[in-house]
Structure 1
Amino acid sequence: MERREFIAAALGAGALATSLGTEATAQAGAGSAAPAGGLGSGAQDRAYMLDLLRRMAEPVLGPMSKGQLQARFKPELSPTWDGRPVKVAYLECFGRLIAGLAPWLALPDTGDAESRLRATLRTQALASYAHSVDPASGDYLFGGIAEQQLVDSAYFTNALIRAPKALWEPLDARTKARIVKEIKGLRSVSPPYTNWLLFAAMNEAFLLSIGEEWDPVRIDLAVRKVLEWYVGDGWYADGPHFHFDYYGSYVIHPMMIEILEVLVATNAHFNSLKAKELLEQAKKRMQRYGTSLERMVAPDGSYPPIGRSLTYRTAVFQPIGLLAWRQWLPEALPAGQARAATVAAQRAVFSHPTNFDEQGYLTIGFAGHQPTLADWYSNAGSMYLASLSLLALGLPASDPYWTVPPQPWTSKRAFAGEHFAKDYYVEY
């Protein structure tokens, strides 16, 4: 399908999007209000998460599918903004959002209200990808601001790895060629020895996954350094020094896993490192990290506001969502418990109405609009990393993750005086 057909389809779908979103939310949303006791059924939890997805996605993908996002969205900047071009906000916004939506967009269409909403947003996402790499478009996202582009291009390509049949294969040949050109062009950026190494590696993994020429050195370096930075019990340092923050959630665990998955799936020659063994090790480490995240969720759904980039909100729970989507939840973290803890944390954060502005865009903050929490690189587009807590929506509503009864999460049991599992250090 040619780019112009995507845009035409998106234009035709635009008027439909609001009604579909309303219908999907209403159909599911009879149970989306916070249930008594904080434990909702799978249907209630899915309805709540679906409504979050819709609220994040529609104000971005609707305009961008027409090349109008940059004209409409004027992102709030950190009070300590470092002066980089504001245009960085738009690749952050789209790339981060689409990485969180990709698993759900990849579900098959079934004709119900949720499916019709998905079909609309998928069409808009494809049109948005076309605009993102078209230099003639008002929503061209690349060119001239390469350093930050490396970061968010990795989420942009991560989405294509997560949903190749939904987001990559339907793109027209010109758009595909433009994406490849832009991603290869970012090899000019030399990433610092931090989690940024994984951004370069993710782009190379994407190129490998589609049969393009790829640079094994960038993947090899990232994997080797992350292995060196493992500090134990499921935690990684971000570079030579340990940071007590959530970058293991935002970047390190998920990207390490998904890069290794591509190496295994393609049977790529990877120097002396054994990708299958490393993937199994990384999986166990993320399982351990996920159980620790679950224990951080307090009885009321709050969790520790620690470390930099706190305004990414519920992106903290990306590893639990990825474990659920991959059906890798460990015995210590059963589905009903993982789901209940994740949704409780989402409710605790998004119960504040000022998380979204008057136009429906995410604001800078943690639990509401709190601009003083912004880092020097933060803008409202950055906030869309929060969509990464929605990965479990990539499981259909019929999956046991959504049909098993809810279980109280660890802290909820502990502070109710109930039995709960003890916790021990693990070695992986």
Structure 2
Amino acid sequence: MIDNPLRSRTDLQQAVRTLFSPLKAHFSPGRARVKLGHTAAVYPARTAELEGFARPLWGLVPLAAGGGEFDDWELYRTGLTHGSDPQHPEYWGPTGNRDQAYVEMAALGFALALIPERVWEPLKPHARANLAAWLGQINRAKLVDNNWQFFRVLVNLGLARVGAESDAASLSAALAQIDAFYLGDGWYSDGPTMRRDYYVPFAMHYYGLLYAGLAGGDPQRADRLRERAAAFAPQFAHWFAADGAALPFGRSLTYRFAQGAFWGALAFANVEVLPWGVIKGLALRHLRWWFRRPIAHNDGCLAIGYAYPNLNLAEGYNGPASPYWALKFFLPLALSDEHPFWLAEEAPLPELPSVHHQPHAGMILCRDRAGAHVFALSGTQHMPKLRHGAEKYAKFAYSTAFGFCVSSGANGLSQTACDSMLALTDDGDHYRLREEPLETTFEGDMLRSLWKPWPEVEIETWLLPCLPWHVRVHRLRTKKSLLSSEGGFAAARPEGVDEGALRHQGEGFALASYPIGWSGIRDLRAKRKGEIINIAPNTNLLYPRTVIPALLGWHLPGEHWLATAVLALPGEGAWLEVWNDPPSLPDLGRGLRHHPPRTVLYRPLLKKLPSYVQKFVSVANRVLKH
């Protein structure tokens, strides 16, 4: 994205200035708002423009705290004066319960706590009073019962630092509520939910480490927060590949390199749970991975999306300036150049086990020997009310090298995000996926889940790592006739290649072998039909054009056992030998061993089926032809 080696403290200081520079043209006349686009979010436009003003502070504040140069503090002082003034046209407004403005207040509280000489002391007395009053609204409102509790903590820390009226009781109650979310072993829940995603490192731990570094008067709690982060760090390291890529999983992925903000927060709070060189390597490799991607608009402003601008994956709370939460990554710039984080030489990760169970996350983390490909088998999480919640939380597997797809909103197999999913339809057009597991358990090396896409259809799924493969077994019990498509990892489909030479499909297998990486799927027992499916553009997080190798089957009412082996490797590598040596069927007891295959290929069966099924099968065969 920018020409910067991103290896030194000086490089990162320049990166913050470069990221901020294109925003200057979008400040409002009164400097209190920054408008970066016209797309809407669930909150008002004035709050989206406050977001554009506040979120860059996550990088600018550490820059200034560490002595880095920044020439535009007057923009912020003017904006703080006007935005908090009820008589000014750019007033940020009164706030209510669960108001998005509280998210942005956290950045302002952070600024007051760390650099009051830049953003508070130069203000006139009436401007200070207005700003303190506007921020104080957070102590009289109900907040979302999750990481938002930390916003009250940060605001009160900032107000206390500058001698303004703060609320120690509210701060203490918020910290107590956060303690209630702690699960043990370094893991939090983000409120009363089963989700264990990036909000654990880049929210719960990040703010906790901020508190530990700023709240000198609360040493016991600070030590407890450090200990929790230290317990989490070795587990979180499994989410990163050797090139710095983090595992794409869950919501809020448009915050991008905030995924790696936890590593710098460890340094800010002086938590050397891993050698400083390892922590620094995890952080900077991650940042470099992101800066090699086209994640900005042509004017240089960060875009909603993941590895490229893409509104398909956005949540309703993503406004045009939301991606600037990524600047939380730059917290270690607040440290002096003599801090061991900056003095250390970057080091690679120590050798990690190829298979690592994380029960709190409901995942089995898998990595190849070189760490080039990290993938997670997943089975416990869900968020059905979120846009694309099933795709973001409930797929069977997530990969650093292949990403995942979200549905395009239209009907049909090519519009359905069936990568790493078993998609089922009873009409040949509308597909259902695993959205909400009803039961999840670890059974030895396997992860089991029970789910019901329809009330009369029950599926048990077992996921088993067999590196570099993984195996899936499904017991399908259905009272209706169904078509199924089970997808492997989505493979990038570059332009200008010979498609015929790169696609291999037949009875019981499908393989796509593109230069960027190859992905294949095998049927281990029932010989479903293999097919390479072209997926709608801009539905994968990493690549605008992808294909999915899939197995297509037809299931009459009754019980069916499906067994699938999935393999994917990045790069062009020597894959043929591995592909020709698939894993064997796992031992799941009498059911799998003694249940004869009954799933059949899509093919003309009209003479063998009752008349009321014939129309259904005809639709299925037409779907396959197209």
1:54 and 2:54 aligned: no
2:37 is matched with: 74
SS state at 1:251 partner:
helix
**Equivalent residues in 2 for 1:166-315 (5 A)?**
166-259=118-211, 264-265=216-217, 275-315=218-258
- Equivalent AA in structure 2 for residue 86 of structure 1: A
| Equivalent-residue separation in structure 2 for 1:75 and 1:53 (angstroms) | 25
**Shift in alpha-carbon separation, 1:119–1:375, aligned structure 2, 3 A:** closer
**Equivalent residues in 2 for 1:20-419 (5 A)?**
32-33=4-5, 44-61=7-24, 63-64=26-27, 67=30, 70=33, 73-77=36-40, 81-82=41-42, 84-108=43-67, 115=68, 118-135=69-86, 139-143=90-94, 147-259=99-211, 264-265=216-217, 275-326=218-269, 328-330=270-272, 332-353=273-294, 355-410=295-350
TM-score, normalised to structure 1's length?
Answer: 0.74
**Shift in alpha-carbon separation, 1:250–1:92, aligned structure 2, 3 A:** farther
| Equivalent-residue separation in structure 1 for 2:337 and 2:27 (angstroms) | 28
**1:366-394 C-alpha deviation (Å, 9 max, x unpaired):** 22212111111111211111000111122
SS state at 2:183 partner:
strand
Task: Give the structure with the larger strand fraction.
Answer: 2
Shift of 1:60: 2.8
- Equivalent AA in structure 1 for residue 13 of structure 2: L
Contact 2:7 2:284 survives alignment (8 Å): no
- Equivalent AA in structure 2 for residue 64 of structure 1: F
1:36 is matched with: none
| Equivalent-residue separation in structure 2 for 1:102 and 1:408 (angstroms) | 29
Contact 1:89 1:381 survives alignment (8 Å): yes
SS state at 1:386 partner:
helix
**1:67-98 C-alpha deviation (Å, 9 max, x unpaired):** 35757632544xxx43x312211222222220
Structure 1 portions without partners, runs of 5+? 1-24, 34-42, 109-114, 266-274, 419-428
| Equivalent-residue separation in structure 1 for 2:290 and 2:212 (angstroms) | 32
| Equivalent-residue separation in structure 1 for 2:304 and 2:89 (angstroms) | 24
**1:317-351 C-alpha deviation (Å, 9 max, x unpaired):** 2222122234x131x42222222221211122231
Contact 1:150 1:189 survives alignment (8 Å): no
Contact 1:70 1:139 survives alignment (8 Å): yes
**Shift in alpha-carbon separation, 1:337–1:259, aligned structure 2, 3 A:** closer
Shift of 1:178: 1.4
Shift of 1:148: 0.9
Contact 1:60 1:94 survives alignment (8 Å): no
Percentage identity across aligned positions? 25
Contact 1:76 1:364 survives alignment (8 Å): no
- Equivalent AA in structure 1 for residue 312 of structure 2: T
Q: CA RMSD in A?
A: 3.0
**Shift in alpha-carbon separation, 1:249–1:176, aligned structure 2, 3 A:** farther
| Equivalent-residue separation in structure 2 for 1:124 and 1:347 (angstroms) | 29
**Shift in alpha-carbon separation, 1:301–1:256, aligned structure 2, 3 A:** closer
Shift of 1:224: 1.4
TM-score, normalised to structure 2's length?
Answer: 0.52
Structure 2 portions without partners, runs of 5+? 355-367, 372-626
Shift of 1:306: 1.4
- Equivalent AA in structure 1 for residue 7 of structure 2: Q
| Equivalent-residue separation in structure 2 for 1:187 and 1:72 (angstroms) | 28
SS state at 2:255 partner:
helix
Shift of 1:190: 0.9
Shift of 1:410: 3.8
SS state at 2:52 partner:
helix
**Shift in alpha-carbon separation, 1:343–1:234, aligned structure 2, 3 A:** same
**Shift in alpha-carbon separation, 1:200–1:309, aligned structure 2, 3 A:** same
| Equivalent-residue separation in structure 2 for 1:416 and 1:286 (angstroms) | 27
Contact 2:205 2:262 survives alignment (8 Å): yes
- Equivalent AA in structure 2 for residue 103 of structure 1: P
Q: Alignment length, in residue pairs? A: 356
**Shift in alpha-carbon separation, 1:236–1:194, aligned structure 2, 3 A:** same
Shift of 1:193: 1.9
1:426 is matched with: none
**1:292-313 C-alpha deviation (Å, 9 max, x unpaired):** 3333220121111112111111
SS state at 2:45 partner:
coil
Contact 2:277 2:341 survives alignment (8 Å): yes
Shift of 1:102: 0.9
**Shift in alpha-carbon separation, 1:169–1:358, aligned structure 2, 3 A:** same
1:5 is matched with: none
Contact 2:265 2:331 survives alignment (8 Å): yes
Task: Give the structure with the larger helix fraction.
Answer: 1
**Shift in alpha-carbon separation, 1:393–1:214, aligned structure 2, 3 A:** closer
| Equivalent-residue separation in structure 1 for 2:151 and 2:13 (angstroms) | 28
Shift of 1:363: 0.6
Contact 2:109 2:156 survives alignment (8 Å): no
